[in-house]
A and B are shown apart, each in its own frame.
Chain A
Amino acid sequence: LAKTTQPISMDSYEGQEVNITCSHNNIATNDYITWYQQFPSQGPRFIIQGYKTKVTNEVASLFIPADRKSSTLSLPRVSLSDTAVYYCLVGDYSSASKIIFGSGTRLSIRP
């Protein structure tokens, strides 16, 4: 699996758009990019997955540039309940064996 680098922490305010960037310079051709959200003392929850360009669902958007060496998770109009740790994973979703979570980004939302 490709190594990923994310900011350790970020702060924002309710109602703002939050963008969390993940760097994955060694991403392979067959790799997909996946983001998880984890609240304290709960298991991570799958948010979104993409291969290139833009993916959007009811929770977030994922932007992936043409070179795919980074990706940005965008959370529109965050609320206090979006305070969590966000993990970026990169791998071949059809043949991955070991799965490696990095340290994640601790997002804190203030009123």
Chain B
Amino acid sequence: EAQVTQNPRYLITVTGKKLTVTCSQNMNHEYMSWYRQDPGLGLRQIYYSMNVEVTDKGDVPEGYKVSRKEKRNFPLILESPSPNQTSLYFCASNPAGSLLEQYFGPGTRLTVT
């Protein structure tokens, strides 16, 4: 089944404790993105990657890192999480020829205390 998977789905952590949220897609898509969604602010893009080893900042990249060493994986790294990073996170992927037709993962709800 074609899908985007994220792990973990739920995470409660403390300020400053490094964490990684994994994202994997099995559709051989070139383009992958991370979004965060907060009440009243909609979906905001954090980082995106046009292909392996090619990443760029979205609208809200501060406090996040990403890497794209393999085509299928695009992990989101929070080196020192803070409470304002408490949010619902989505990973998405799409083929290079259809950049607006994205396939989203199920989401990761992160709480930083």
- List A residues at the B interface (Cβ < 8 Å): 32, 34, 36, 41-46, 49, 87, 89, 91-104
A44 touches B104 (CB 8 A): yes
A94 touches B45 (CB 8 A): no
Q: Dominant SS at the A interface?
A: loop
Q: Which residues of chain B from 82 to 113 have any CB-CB distance to chain A below 8 Å in the complex?
A: 88, 90, 92, 97-107, 109
Chain B residues, Cβ within 8 Å of A32: 100
Does B59 count as interface, using CB distance less than 8 angstroms? yes
Q: Dominant SS at the B interface?
A: strand
CA distance in complex: A34, B102 (Å): 10
Residue in B closest to A43 when the chains form the complex, CB atoms: B104
Q: Pick the 5 closest A-B CB pairs, nearest first.
A: A43-B104, A101-B43, A34-B100, A96-B99, A93-B100
Given A97-B56, A100-B45, A101-B43, does the pair A46, B103 have CB atoms closer than 8 Å?
Answer: yes
B92, B98, B99, B103: most-surrounded residue (chain A CB, <10 A): B99
Determine which of B45, B48, B99, B102 lies in contact with A44 in the assembled complex, contact meaning CB atoms within 8 Å.
Answer: B102
Tell me, rounded to whole Å, the shortest Cβ–Cβ distance linking A64 to chain B.
Answer: 14
Chain A residues, Cβ within 8 Å of B102: 36, 44, 46, 99
Determine which of B45, B88, B105 lies in contact with A99 in the assembled complex, contact meaning CB atoms within 8 Å.
Answer: B45
Q: Pull 21 A–B residue pairs with CB atoms less than 8 Å apart, ordered by A.
A: A32-B100, A36-B102, A42-B104, A42-B107, A44-B43, A44-B104, A45-B104, A46-B103, A49-B101, A91-B99, A93-B97, A93-B98, A95-B99, A96-B99, A97-B50, A98-B58, A99-B33, A99-B100, A101-B43, A101-B45, A102-B42
CA distance in complex: A100, B46 (Å): 11
Chain A residues, Cβ within 8 Å of B56: 97-98
B42, B58, B106: most-surrounded residue (chain A CB, <10 A): B42
A89 touches B88 (CB 8 A): no
Chain A residues, Cβ within 8 Å of B104: 42-45
CA distance in complex: A93, B18 (Å): 35
